[in-house]
Amino acid sequence: MPSEAEQPSSARPFAGASAPGGPDAGGLLERDPELAAAAHAVDALVDGAARGGPARGGILVYRGEPGIGKTTLLAAIHRTARDRCTVLTARGGETLASVPFHLTRQLLQPALDRFGPEEVRGLLGDHHDLLAPALGIASPAAASPAPADPQGVRDGLAGLLGRLADRLCDRPPLLLVDDAQWADAESLAWLDAFAGSRRDRDLPVLVVLAHRPPKPDPGRPTAAATLAALAERAVLTFGLHALTPAATAALAREALGGHADEPFCHELWTVTSGNPYETVELLAKARDRMLEPVAGSAALLRDLGAGARGGGLVARLEALGPGPTRLAWAIAVLGADSTTRLLTTLTGMKADEVTDHTARLRRTRILTAPPADPRPQDDARAAPGTGTAPTAPPSPRASASAHSPASAFPLEFAHPLIATAVYGSVPPAVRTALHGRAAWVLAGAGHGPAAVSRHLLEVHPDDDEDVVDRLRAAAAEHLATGAPDAARRCLDRALAEPPSPETYAGVLYELGCASLLTSPAATVRHLRSALDLPGLDDDLRIDATYRLAQALAHNNQLQEAARAVAAEADRTPPGTGRRRLQAAHFMYEGFQAAEDDGPGRSRRLAELTAGFTGADNSERALIAVRGFDAMLRGEPAAEVVGLCDRALADGLPARGLGWTDPTWGFEIPALTGIAYVFADRPDRGEALFTEAVRAFEISGWSGAHLAFAHTLLGLVHRRRGRLPRAQHHLEEGLRLADRVGGGLPVHWDTACLLVDTLLARGRTAEARAVADRYAFGPPWPGAIVLPDGPSVLGRLLLAEGRREEAVDTLEAAAEALTARGRHHGVWAPWPFDLARALAPTDPDRAARLAADAHTHATRLGTPTALGEALRCLALLADPPESHRLLTRAVAHLATSPSRYEEARARLDLAHATGSPSTLAHATTLAASCGAHPSPSTP
């Protein structure tokens, strides 16, 4: 559903509040368009679910200045929808914006509480261990030792919301989110992921967001951008405006009596600028003072109005005395944890004092009134089946029990404006001290490190090792829930404490690891600093160096990655640790697109691994690197397959070398599978890559890792001639990679394979569109591309008839690869295409290229390579010899897994012989491969 332009409602704004003594609480004025839009959206959602057809949810956005009535508008939507929908509500908090998944838990915990433990486990499915910590229904300590992939957590939560919608189809979910400008970035990203996961744009839920107009926030750029993205997806966006004079007069007459005259009402509107919150507050004060609503009293309104905002609110609080003021300060600091029990501990007051001060704060409308039912007012939790929840539910922790006493219900300010004013009024030194004390109060009450860390972040550094330990523990929890940004905030603050000299390097190491998935440059900086300091033991130094190399490689700094692990390997005694570093060294050197001594490196790798049997994972990893290198060099395929077999354990990655193992990374099993594919054993590669997709999906790795797994499956299907299936996986790989960002290594590999696949299908224009979209061409990245990028680009240029450009591109590929001793003609098919391009103008050189390619194919020994080489030779031979060579090529390719290449060879043979039956066979085979029209012969 396309997002429409923001709809102004200045003509008929809505009060967003009720006048004291006026209509029922939440009575609305002049908000017909906004309410009508919500009613229409609810009707579409409910009617679609009732018919059993596609859901018709979506996103509605209401924007407006503070006090404009957003909360009351959401309350009205809640009232009208609660008998038909499962209403789930949440509110962002100014002091809670840095708490990961705070909003998510408010929304989803009440819905999950409708189900038993086994039903919840079923709803979370394979992602239970990944999602439970983020949802607050399991301890992060029970999560996997590897950090949770943020994209995977977002996607998992999006899937959970979809499954909840299916289970609640009789009362489809309505999500009401107030003060979304203060929502945590992780929750906003989840909502955006959910909205973006539906390609038809029909969501099974209705999401209503209310927030203040966006403003630049350097401290939270990601959250602001995501909120803007959600607005772009919205069905409608309404801008809420101030009350008109007529609406203000209506409120005044309902609050103070119908005799309120026009001068009084107009002055009321002038003083409040039509702000509904300030209007209602000012009317309440006028009623408290028994002010006559007549022209003679109008002049008094301005002085009274000053107490409804900013400094006036603070003065109103201070007038209550030090006890209520101290309590209000504590509530502002504790936020959603402001239960009476915790407040007594934090303030040092007695319980009856807190009760008395609370009553006074409520009487002056600084705090909300107590709930009518002393239980936490979450209807979806307290009365299963009603599907309702309050506008501002308590924190998940405070509402853990459906029968908590009133003292367990958190105290709340009557309006976010009051909360902001009170928090800002706390003297800085007092505020810092309160945060410090709040940290210890929460820790003493059994709250986890992540909950405590929110307050520790606000405490001044004081060389306290206990603070460092707690922040490190909080960072570990945040990583386990898929919130690396929150983890980095904790570790940055821990460094400022600072840690002791003995632990400083360890904190830097943890900070680098926390940045690994999202910020390679920061990872490099932190890990290098850690390695330059004392304090890391041998195992940690090895791991830090390995991760440093991973980050450098991810940042397209392969040469620096290879140097870093080589230098550390030289300092490391012989053994598994050293072999781990050597494997990384040879891998990253081999990944480089340009290399000073490729043949020498290959020779040293072969010598090192000559006696390895795969006795442990460090040997298996080096054997895998060796097998991949041997494949690129075009060494005999039987030897390559033997190396790949030794790199595995019973045909599978050994334990500790799996796809999601954090010690070695996914590269090791990937190298083995790729080498299998180009050794004409794509069946074994397919088994490995299918397991990769499964492992990544179960672990919630739905970013670049899963994108690469789909790319690898695309490679398998391309080599086996299953071109439509290859295209499907490659397009899925690009879709997943695009969500992560641009210019990733996986983009190059996937775009390259997709261009090659589309060319095989005869879709040259589509191939060019992919190449242009992903800038597939020079300047090439520092890493090799799967398959060789310049070779595939040359093929594209030939298909477009740009022969001279193709020759230049293919000759550059030949120079680079020949110097490195890489002669695999299927990985890098430049010899075949260059020979064909040169045949009309330089047949002698073309013949030499074809003969050399055949020599290398003979050494490699795979039917695919031999068939392709013979087909190329046939192009340059006289008719009788060409016929003989093509017959041999078809015979080889018929025994290969490469059905598309077989179809091309049969088509060439049909053209050479003029045989209708051969042509029919070739055409049928090409069609079964998905090559339409019949494959061309460039």
For residue range 337-353, list pLDDT tens digits in order.
999 999 999 999 999 99
Q: Would you state the structure tokens that stand for residue 762, as one six-digit string?
A: 């005869």
Q: Is the model's pLDDT at 757 over the cut of 90?
A: yes
For 858, the 3-state DSSP assignment is helix
- pLDDT confidence of 525, banded at 50, 70, 90? very high
Beta bridge partners of 51: none
Q: What is the mean pLDDT of residues 208-227?
A: 85
Banded model confidence at residue 377, pLDDT cuts 50, 70, 90: very low
Query: Of 857 and 663, which is predicted with more confidence?
Result: 857
C-alpha to C-alpha distance for 591 and 562, rounded to whole angstroms: 10
Is 111's pLDDT higher than 70? yes
When pLDDT is cut at 50, 70 and 90, the band that residue 898 belongs to is very high
Query: Which residue, 527, 631, 483, is CA-closest to 184?
Result: 483
Lowest-pLDDT range of 163-172, 458-467, 773-782: 163-172
Q: How confident is the model at residue 699 (pLDDT cuts 50, 70, 90)?
A: confident
Residue 397, pLDDT > 80, answer no
- Predicted pLDDT of residue 479: 94
Looking at the chain, the whole-number percentage of residues with pLDDT higher than 90 is: 73
The 10 Å Cβ neighbour count of residue 500 is 13
Residue 288 has pLDDT above 50, yes or no: yes
Higher pLDDT, 126 or 543: 543
**pLDDT of 660 strictly over 80:** yes
As a dihedral over the C-alpha atoms of residue 138, residue 140, residue 144, residue 147, rounded to 10 degrees, the angle is 140
pLDDT of residue 145: 64
Q: For residue 879, say if its preceding peptide bond is cis, omega within 30 degrees of 0.
A: no
> Is pLDDT at 374 greater than 50 in this prediction?
no
Nearest to 788 by CA among 825, 820, 747, 757: 825
pLDDT of residue 371: 65
Rounded mean pLDDT of 592-599?
92
Biggest alpha carbon distance in the chain? 115
Mean pLDDT of 200-221: 83
- pLDDT number for residue 53: 62
pLDDT of 285 reads 84
Model pLDDT, residue 19: 35
**Cα–Cα dist 608/548, whole Å:** 24
Does the pLDDT of residue 388 top 50, yes or no? no
Contact 330, 343 (CB under 8 A): yes
Kindly report the average pLDDT of the chain as a whole number. 89
**Between 910 and 277, whose confidence is greater?**
910
pTM score = 0.86
644 has pLDDT over 90: yes
CB 900 within 8 A of CB 929: yes
Q: With 0-12 CB in 10 A as exposed, 13-18 as middle and 19+ as buried, what is 574?
A: exposed
pLDDT at 303: 80
| pLDDT, greater one: 387 or 138 | 138
SS3 592: strand
Token pair of 535 as six digits = 């304090």
- Res. 163: pLDDT tops 70: yes
In this prediction, residue 726 has a pLDDT band, given cuts at 50, 70 and 90, of very high
Cβ neighbours of residue 170 under 8 Å, at least 6 residues apart? Answer: 49
Among positive and negative, which fits the CA dihedral 746, 747, 751, 754? positive
pLDDT attached to residue 399: 36
CA distance 631 to 786: 13
Strand partners, 8: 239
- How far apart are alpha carbons 447 and 441 in whole angstroms? 9
Assess whether pLDDT exceeds 60 at residue 740.
yes
Mean pLDDT of 553-565: 93
Question: H or E element: which one contains 63?
Answer: strand 58-63
**666: its two tokens:** 């996914």
Whole-number percent of the chain with pLDDT over 70:
90
Least confident range from 494-503, 551-560, 853-862: namely 551-560
DSSP letter at 636?
-
